Structure 1
Amino acid sequence: MVKKTGSKKLSTRTRSNVRCTRLGGICQSNRYICQGRYLKDKCSGPKTQQCCMPVGAWSILCAGHHNNRVRACDVHGCGAFNSRRGNDLHKAVDLVCDDYGIVNTPFSGSLAGPVSRKDPAGNQYDGVKLLSDVHCVKIFNIRPYRYIGPVTQGEVLGYLLPLQERFSGITSHLELQMCDGTDPSPFI
């Protein structure tokens, strides 16, 4: 399929695959091996055309860790996206970090101010919003060194606030929540 635009020809397939390529992926048939994860509905063509995201499109957030490890279940719950939290679903991903550990910027972009949220028990969680042309994420349980301005991937963002003081036995972690409520797992 080719669409004429003035004197140039634009492939509509290429244009509609932009949703995948802007995320850092490549559109391919899902019968091929993808070293990372497939994302659905990001590519043009048949349903078998899916967006293959590379492993760890974002850099490692917690200094001293060799990967972005999702918090397993402990006495206070589980850290995976859509895990049960009482009667609700956890619409974020918890990444294991050390109390007071350095948190790095996962992708280049701009800090867009402080964010906070309260859980049903009244506990408040503070963090920062990070934006780029492609991603918008809120990072909780951290104390950023600043709340506004440009940042580059891997730059020191702040440090992890201690959770052990409030929740004995919890695995210390930061929380990643996409601004639109989608699952951040394919990028970590």
Structure 2
Amino acid sequence: MMRMLLRVCLIAALLACYVLLSCASEHEKRKGEEFQSNDKNAASNIKVKRNNSTVHDGKSKLVTPRKKVKKIGSKIISARPKGDASCTRLGGICQPNRYICQGRYLKDKCSGAKTRQCCMPVGAWSVLCAGHHNNRVRACDVHGCGAFNSKRGNGLHKAVDLVCDDYGIVNAPFSGSLAGPVSRKDPAGNQFDGVKLLSDVHCVKIFNIRPYQYIGPVAQGEALGYLLPLQERFSGITSHMELQMCDSTDPSPFI
């Protein structure tokens, strides 16, 4: 009986030792797994830090998306006068161009909207041909008519012919500066010489005259030269000088 009790106690002790050893080994295993996981996290943190340091050191380039910038086209705003002095000092009146102007509208001389333009009165220029009381447009003769847009061959006459006397003095219609000689040829090949006169507002070409000078300032009414005779080349023609705007518009409202 005693022997059986000793055996039972021995078996129980062995079982207890086995259980204790199993628990100890299981605890060691878990501890080892936790240590390995901590090592992996530390290694990953170190790698991230190294990557960041390489970016700041310039060893690896960090590509960042570019922001799209909208290009806004700049509007070109033409400079307009602050007041109407540019028009009034020329003797004109600033008004909307939908109104009737007895003379001619000039652009960029008035403040405000572009539709507000300078209306120049009729007869703003002085008489060009000395000895005449007004600027009389050449009527029709055997060689044609002197009005603006009258027929000339296959085209139109983009000038106005003013009646003058042969060798008569031709005066400046407005104050300005002479800008050199000009010439033109008609469809028949005849050449006509003259001079260009311009100011801040107007620019004209005057043909069929012999200027006293081609360059320099002139005052309104000052003698520019004398009329060349046309009877030698065109029998029966009315003696006249030819007045042409530099932009080929109608000079009639000013004369």
**1:169 Cα deviation from its structure 2 partner:** 1.0
- Cα distance change of structure 1 residues 170 and 30 upon mapping to structure 2, 3 Å threshold: same
Query: Which AA in structure 1 matches 2:103?
Result: R
Correspondences of 1:80-119 after superposition (within 5 Å): 80-119=147-186
Look up the match of 1:72: 139
Deviation at 1:63, TM superposition (A): 0.3
The one of 154, 157, 162 equivalent to 2:224 is 157
Residue type of the partner of 1:37? G
1:3-25 CA-partner distances (Å, limit 9, x unpaired): xxxxxxxxx99759678557642
- The normalised TM-score by structure 1 is 0.80
Q: By how many angstroms is 1:30 displaced?
A: 8.5
Whichever residue aligns with residue 53 of structure 1, its letter is M
Distance 2:207 2:99 in 1: 36
Output aligned runs, 1:28-67, within 5 Å. Answer: 28=95, 36-37=102-103, 39=105, 51-67=118-134
Match of 1:184 in 2: 251
How many Å separate the matches in 1 of 2:229 and 2:135? Answer: 18
Whether 1:129 aligns to 2:229 is no
Give the AA of the match of 1:124: Q
Q: CA deviation at 1:183?
A: 1.0
CA distance in 2 between partners of 1:86 and 1:17 (Å): 43
Q: Partners in 2 of 1:19 and 1:92 — Cα distance?
A: 27
| Aligned sequence identity (%) | 83
TM-align CA RMSD: 2.8
Q: Unpaired segments of 5 or more residues in structure 1?
A: 1-11
- Would the aligned equivalents of 2:125 and 2:173 in 1 still touch at CA under 8 Å? yes
Q: Given residue 112 of structure 1, which amino acid in structure 2 is its aligned partner?
A: A
Structure of greater Rg: 2
Give the structure with the higher percent helix. Answer: 2
Matching residue's letter, 2:174: F
| 2:187 equivalent in structure 1 | 120
Q: Alpha carbons of 1:91 and 1:33: their partners in 2 closer, same or farther (altered >3 Å)?
A: closer
Higher RCO (CA < 8 A, seq sep 6+): 1
Q: Which amino acid aligns with 2:197?
A: L
Distance of aligned partners of 1:41 and 1:158 in 2 relative to their CA distance in 1, 3 Å threshold: closer
More strand by share: 1
Letter in structure 1 aligned against 2:254: F
CA distance in 2, matches of 1:107, 1:75: 32
> TM-score if structure 2 supplies the norm length?
0.60
Unaligned runs of at least 5 residues, structure 2: 1-78
The one-letter amino acid of 1:100's match is Y
The Cα offsets for residues 130-168 of structure 1, whole Å up to 9 and x where unpaired, read as 111111110000001111111110001100000111111
Q: Deviations over 1:86-132 (max 9, x none)?
A: 11000111111011100001111111111111111111101000111
